[in-house]
Amino acid sequence: MTTEEKPNWYPMWKNLKLDIQKHDQLLGVLPEIYEEIYIVSQKNRPQGMNFFEFVVGDIHGIRISELVKAQQEGKKVVATFCLYIPDEIITALDAIGVGLCGGTNFSNFASEGLLPANTCALIKSSLGFGLGNICPYYQLADLIVGETTCDGKKKCWEILAKSKPVYVVETPQCKDRLQAREHYLAELRALITRLEELTKKRLTAENLKAAMEKMKKKRHQLKRVYNTRKSDPVPISGKDSLLVSQIAFYDDPDRQIQMVGQLADELEKRVKEGVGALNKGAKRILISGTPMAIPNWKLHHLVETKGAAIVAEETCTGTRYFESDYNIKGNTVEELLEVLADRYMSINCACYTPNSGRKDDIKRQVKEYKADGVILYTLSFCQPYDIESIGLEKDLKEQGIPVLSINTDYTSDDEGQLNTRIEAFLEML
């Protein structure tokens, strides 16, 4: 099977003749996409991006060796797909958490026949990565922890469970209710029991507190990077910043604290010196919507190659990942779990009803990041975000905020149409 028989992702895929079912060939492909799609047209990049470039170029290299070594030493690898599964609990039990996802359609062949055609690209891609044995992170996972957010993911766990141990956390649907908090807490306790069985470790107030401190520091460094994007000129492109967030999901947290921290130092210096990755006065765009998993850089590429700057992403691969914070208060596991529950349930995902907090987040971020306009980004067939985008578009426009709604997938089929719409939107700002 060649890529020519498959839907294209970006035009370069048409020229690649490789057997996409062969994992070793795929290892060489990601850096190639990265070179062709990612690097092109990026200027005046921060030096600190060298590390992140290395990590994405080596996506199946050093980190995978580290995970293999850790497993040989008795540690467990726990894979998750959603922000509502607390990294703190996994880390406290001395396991390694990796956020899995899928940002390309080259893995779809492996999920064909298992999912309806009108399934969101992220689910198709993620399942394909797992079932097609393409992604070594799936292969290494000792346990996959799913959740009951959207319907597509709920059904996806049943399919994945045929080939991997899967545990599903029942996340609540109406988070504003008191019983939703109690339910989430009960689900976290059940998750802890499952993870304690897996790791043969016990969750204590001490190890949980230490993990909370680590995750807090990691998110703080990402927040520093995002804060620098509030300046004009932006010291880092949206594309680079997105890559930094994407890598945060699978790289070692201690290394992330160090390397994202170093990048933030450099960006803060750039801000003081007025150094930009895009021109001063460039149109400033806030993206809001569905997550963008590696190597989904499509929208950032299309917007920033037109000279505009993406200044923030109100997505799970953006501000939703790090904005909610906590004060680490409490001396018992129960008290700390309550702090965690409040932190996680304050993330505003469209899978909740109602989800009015997201609208407030977008309006606040438009001000904070001085955005000239908002692009509402929805992966095709993602009903929760698709439906929310209609009301959001109307509401933001009424507030005088220019909005462009984009519904797309991982193919390049709509690239011409998107270019026209984005150009018209930027001209209008």
Q: Is 91 in the site for ligand BJ8 (CB under 6 A)?
A: no
Instruction: Kindly report the number of other CB atoms within 10 A of residue 117's CB atom.
Output: 7
* Cβ-based nearer residue to ligand BJ8, 13 or 84: 84
Minimum distance between the CB of residue 85 and ligand BJ8, rounded to whole angstroms?
9
Token pair for 396: 């933001």
Contact 378, 292 (CB under 8 A): no
Q: Is 343 in the site for ligand BJ8 (CB under 6 A)?
A: no
CB closer to ligand BJ8 out of 222 and 333: 222
Spatial CB neighbours of 130, under 8 Å, sequence gap ≥ 6: 100, 110, 138, 160, 163, 164
For ligand BJ8, which stretch binds (CB under 6 A), given 29-37, 72-80, 82-90, 231-239? 82-90
Q: Does 351 bind ligand BJ8 (CB under 6 A)?
A: yes
Is residue 123 at the binding interface for ligand BJ8, with CB under 6 A as the rule?
A: yes
Distance CA 103, CA 129 (A): 10
Minimum distance from residue 245 beta carbon to ligand BJ8 (Å): 12
Nearer to ligand BJ8 (CB atom), residue 305 or residue 407: 407
Rule CB under 6 A: say whether 160 interacts with ligand BJ8.
no
Confirm or reject binding of residue 183 to ligand BJ8 (CB under 6 A).
Answer: no
Instruction: Decide whether 184 or 282 has the Cβ nearer to ligand BJ8.
Output: 184
Residue with smaller CB distance to ligand BJ8, 278 or 322:
322
Q: How far is the CB of 137 from ligand BJ8 (least distance, A)?
A: 16
Q: Which of 49, 78, 120, 376 binds ligand BJ8 (CB under 6 A)?
A: 120
Report the nearest approach of ligand BJ8 to the CB of residue 407 (Å). Answer: 11
Q: Is 249 in the site for ligand BJ8 (CB under 6 A)?
A: no
Number of C-alpha atoms within 13 angstroms, CB side, residue 43? 10
Q: Is 205 exposed, middle or buried (0-12, 13-18, 19+ CB in 10 A)?
A: middle
332 vs 334: CA distance, rounded Å: 5
Q: Does 236 bind ligand BJ8 (CB under 6 A)?
A: no
Among 37, 345, 379, 426, binds ligand BJ8 (CB under 6 A): 379
Query: Does the footprint of ligand BJ8 cover residue 184 (CB under 6 A)?
Result: no
Give the integer Cα–Cα distance in Å for 166 and 67. Answer: 19
Say whether the peptide bond before residue 291 is cis (omega within 30 degrees of 0): no
Element (H, E) at 78: strand 77-80
8 Å CB contact between 146 and 175: no
**149 vs 412, beta carbon nearer ligand BJ8:** 149
Residues 6+ apart with CB under 8 A from 253: 87, 91, 214, 215, 218
State the alpha helices, DSSP H only, in 238-310.
238-248, 253-273, 298-304
For 408, the 3-state DSSP assignment is strand
Q: Which residues contact 297 (CB under 8 A, 6 or more apart)?
A: 37, 38, 239, 242, 243
Contact segment (CB under 6 A) with ligand BJ8 among 59-67, 253-261, 338-346, 380-388 equals 380-388
Count of residues that interact with ligand BJ8, criterion CB under 6 A: 20
- Give me the amino acid identity at 172: P
Q: For residues 128 and 402, which CB has a smaller minimum distance to ligand BJ8 in the complex?
A: 128
Task: Rule CB under 6 A: choose which of 291, 295, 318, 402 binds ligand BJ8.
Answer: 291
237 near ligand BJ8, judged by CB under 6 A: no
Q: Does 241 bind ligand BJ8 (CB under 6 A)?
A: no
Nearer to ligand BJ8, 203 or 379 (CB): 379
Out of 79, 366, 382, 418, point to the residue binding ligand BJ8 (CB under 6 A).
382
Distance CA 311, CA 367 (A): 11
Among 153, 218, 270, 283, binds ligand BJ8 (CB under 6 A): 153
* CA distance linking residue 398 with residue 384, whole number of Å: 22
Range list of β-strands (E), 129-244 = 143-147, 166-169
CB of 35 to ligand BJ8, least distance (A): 27
The residues of the shown chain that bind ligand BJ8, judged by CB under 6 A, are: 82-84, 120, 122-123, 149-150, 152-153, 290-291, 316, 347, 349, 351, 379, 382, 384-385
